[in-house]
């Protein structure tokens, strides 16, 4: 049998070439989030890609907070990001790096550029800097402060560090080329004056480095070999290379860009999510209708389902959108062989078996998962009064309706045949009770070979049913109308959350742990909510329905 050829993505090809040619002895990758919000599904692609490459090639994976902008950064976000990375399984061995720990080295790097004549202090206002920068079709023009002497620039930069200037009064800029066709190379800002308390360094600094200056220095200090980022940084790569070259790092890192992950009709923008949180439309950053990683975790998605999803999406240079149905397909495939399949009645109506002994209780063995025999079976209690779903009974049924209606017989899953003989209604015409008779000869597993029935329905014993709340989720965006309104606001789906407060579960659900997932027979996959569920009042979130619109290729 011929050896199977494994196709490598373009990043793997670059890494293998670099290792073969001796450019690097060992690869080092990193995931460098800014702690200014919660991570979302797109970040998972970067985490798993960088960690996966380090594992594949026996390298090292660094987890680093790119915390150079204290205006938006919070300790809350630091903790949530750390939890998310751990949950996805990226093992950073409890070594967490912070860009802010390198502020001294970044300051010295800026001084080195000034001494080389490659950086200068500029007094232009932000508006003037934009005006001098030029356009995509017109070159910029030099700042009047561009030719300050090295000595003057060193003195001014020291004064900036010492807090002698107001916020925004002066900036340090790289001296590159104001006529460059790449606007990012037109003397970009390296440092700005900003009096802000930093979550890690406190009030030590009143000047802070810009991202494009800080990031290559962080990578170089940590020995990162392949700085893998998304495509919007492609135009910034010449500046990244300029910084590591001018600072003369012996083993400069290499920036590689890949396409971002775009999911159809989901909300990932931090300002949109923040507004949803602030307006009370969602229950925090971990609301199960969102696609932050904490929301997906609370909804019931598993790390393995997200890894499966990323494998299907793949790594490329071309931007494209992926249907959310693909993510749902992955969690179904993940839970199908592992989740217990149990009975839950979401819209209960009482079913009374008139000819069943009033005080009798029987127990039936019901398999936990028909597709996985190793999961065994459980004992399910059965008595005279049960609950069934309201949709499983109709007074006047349409054709091909095989569930309960007057005179019809169905099998109660794992138990007996029952025939509807009567029902009761309230003053509003709602059915409140269904009366049936059962045939004791039809006990499940008894080998009964008499008449056949076309319908099987699930049920819950009223004697020991577990009361719970169930939350049904849909996309928070109105998929038919599109994500955004004309005014730029989100077009929200008014039916994104349905709360069912009077659901009944079979007794085996008692004691279910937070985050534990189950298949509710016929209804979909559900998990115990990690936030609101209690022993006295369990709350279940629907992870995904049973039906899929996605078909794998």
Last residue of a domain, one of 180, 208, 236: 208
In a domain, 237, yes or no: no
pLDDT in tens, 523-535: 999 999 999 999 9
Q: Cβ(114)–Cβ(149) under 8 Å?
A: no
User: Predicted confidence band at 424 (pLDDT cuts at 50, 70, 90)?
Assistant: very high
Q: What is the pLDDT of residue 255?
A: 97
- Bridge partners (DSSP) of residue 188 are none
Cα–Cα distances in angstroms (integers) from residue 303 to residues 64, 228, 459, in the given order = 21, 22, 32
Q: Is residue 467 part of a domain?
A: no
- Residue-averaged pLDDT of the chain: 94
pLDDT of residue 122: 98
Q: How many CA atoms lie within 13 A of 444 on its CB side?
A: 19
pLDDT of residue 72: 80
Q: Indicate which CATH number applies to the domain containing 112.
A: 3.90.800.10
pLDDT higher than threshold 50 for residue 56 = yes
Beta bridge partners of 171: 122, 192
More confident residue, 36 or 61: 61
Q: What pLDDT, on the 0 to 100 scale, is given for residue 419?
A: 97
In a domain, 413, yes or no: yes
What's the pLDDT tens digit per position in 245-254?
999 999 899 9
pLDDT tens profile 367-407: 999 999 999 999 999 999 999 999 999 999 999 999 999 99
| Within-domain flag for 375 | yes
Instruction: Establish if 508 belongs to a structural domain.
Output: no
* Domain presence at residue 2: no
CATH number for position 402: 2.40.240.10
The pLDDT value recorded for residue 297 is: 97
Tell the burial category of 50 from Cβ atoms under 10 Å away from its Cβ (0-12, 13-18, 19+).
Answer: buried
Phi, psi of 70 (to 5 degrees): -70, -5
DSSP string, 451-508: ---S-EE--EETTTPEEEEEEEE--SB-TTT-SB-TTS-B-B-TTSEEEEEEEEE-GG
Residue 5 falls inside a structural domain: no
What is the mean predicted confidence (pLDDT) over 281-285?
A: 93
Domain range enclosing 195: 103-208
Average pLDDT over residues 20-32: 96
- pLDDT score at 69: 87
Least confident stretch, 233-237, 265-269, 412-416: 265-269
The band of 187, judged by pLDDT with boundaries at 50, 70 and 90, is very high
Question: What is the rounded CA–CA span in Å between residue 448 and residue 442?
Answer: 6
Is the pLDDT at 110 greater than 70, yes or no? Answer: yes
Query: How confident is residue 154, by pLDDT bands cut at 50, 70 and 90?
Result: very high
507-519 mean pLDDT? 96
Compute the average pLDDT of residues 310-323.
Answer: 90
Number of domains in the chain: 2
Separation CA 527–CA 300 (nearest Å): 6
- Arithmetic mean of pLDDT, 95-107: 96
Residues 232, 252: Cα–Cα separation, whole Å: 21
Q: φ and ψ at 544, to 5 degrees?
A: -165, 150
- pLDDT of res. 426: 94
Report whether pLDDT(84) > 80: yes
pLDDT tens figures, 331-372: 999 999 999 999 999 999 999 999 999 999 999 999 999 999
Alpha-helix residue ranges (DSSP H) falling in 301-404:
303-313, 324-335
372 vs 375: CA distance, rounded Å: 6
Give the pLDDT mean for 151-164.
Answer: 98
Which H helix or E strand runs over 238?
helix 237-246
d(CA 86, CA 523): 31
Q: Is residue 266 part of a domain?
A: no
> Which one of 168, 184, 208 terminates a domain?
208
First to last CA, the chain: 25
Q: Which of 405, 440, 458 is the last residue of a domain?
A: 458
Residues 276 and 491: their CA atoms lie apart, in Å, by 12
Residues 75, 81, 85, 87, Cα dihedral to 10°: 100
Using the predicted structure, report yes or no on whether residue 2 has a pLDDT greater than 70: no
């Amino acid at each position: 049998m011929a050896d199977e050829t494994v196709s490598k993505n373009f990043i793997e090809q670059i890494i293998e070439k670099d290792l073969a040619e001796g450019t690097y002895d060992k690869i080092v990758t990193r995931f460098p989030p800014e702690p200014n919000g919660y991570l979302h599904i797109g970040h998972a692609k970067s985490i798993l890609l960088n960690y996966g490459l380090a594992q594949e090639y026996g390298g090292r994976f660094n987890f680093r907070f790119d915390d150079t902008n204290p205006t938006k950064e919070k300790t809350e976000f630091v903790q949530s990001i750390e939890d998310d990375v751990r949950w996805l399984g990226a093992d950073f061995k409890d070594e967490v790096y912070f860009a802010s720990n390198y502020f001294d080295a970044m300051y010295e790097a800026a001084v080195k550029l000034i001494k080389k004549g490659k950086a200068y202090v500029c007094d232009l206002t932000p508006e003037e800097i934009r005006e001098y920068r030029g356009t995509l079709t017109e070159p910029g023009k030099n700042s009047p402060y561009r030719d300050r002497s090295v000595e003057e620039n060193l003195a001014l930069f020291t004064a900036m560090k010492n807090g002698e200037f107001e916020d925004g009064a002066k900036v340090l800029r790289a001296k590159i080329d104001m006529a460059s066709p790449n606007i990012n190379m037109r003397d970009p800002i390296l440092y700005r004056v900003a009096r802000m308390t930093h979550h890690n360094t406190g009030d030590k600094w009143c000047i802070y480095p810009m991202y494009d200056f800080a990031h290559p220095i962080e990578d170089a200090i940590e020995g990162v070999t392949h700085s893998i980022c998304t495509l919007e940084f492609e135009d910034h790569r010449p500046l990244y290379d300029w910084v590591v070259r001018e600072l003369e790092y012996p083993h400069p890192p290499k920036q590689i860009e890949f396409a971002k992950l775009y999911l159809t009709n989901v909300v990932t923008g931090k300002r949109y999510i923040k507004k949803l949180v602030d307006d009370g439309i969602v229950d925090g950053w971990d609301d199960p209708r969102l696609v932050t990683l904490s929301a997906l975790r609370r909804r019931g998605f598993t790390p393995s389902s997200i890894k499966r999803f990323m494998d299907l999406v793949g790594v490329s240079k071309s931007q494209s959108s992926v249907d959310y149905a693909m993510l749902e397909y992955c969690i179904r495939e993940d839970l199908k062989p592992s989740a217990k399949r149990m009975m839950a009645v979401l819209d209960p109506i009482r079913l009374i078996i008139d000819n069943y002994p009033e005080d009798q209780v029987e127990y039936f063995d019901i398999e936990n998962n028909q597709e996985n025999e190793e999961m065994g079976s459980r004992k399910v209690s059965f008595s005279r009064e049960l609950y069934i779903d309201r949709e499983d009974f109709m007074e006047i049924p349409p054709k091909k309706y095989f569930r309960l209606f007057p005179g019809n017989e169905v099998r109660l899953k794992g138990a007996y045949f029952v025939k509807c003989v009567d029902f009761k209604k309230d003053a509003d015409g709602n059915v409140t009770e269904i009366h049936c008779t059962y045939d004791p000869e039809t006990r499940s597993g008894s080998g009964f070979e008499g008449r056949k029935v076309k319908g099987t329905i699930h049920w819950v014993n009223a004697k020991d049913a577990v009361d719970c709340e169930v939350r049904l989720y849909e996309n928070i965006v109105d998929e038919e109308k599109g994500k955004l309104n004309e005014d730029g606001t989100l077009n929200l789906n008014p039916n994104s959350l349905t709360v069912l407060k009077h659901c009944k579960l079979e007794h085996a659900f008692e004691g279910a742990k937070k985050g534990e997932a189950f298949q509710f027979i016929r209804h979909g996959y559900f998990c115990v909510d990690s936030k609101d569920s209690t022993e006295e009042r369990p709350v279940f979130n629907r992870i995904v329905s049973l039906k899929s619109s996605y078909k794998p290729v």
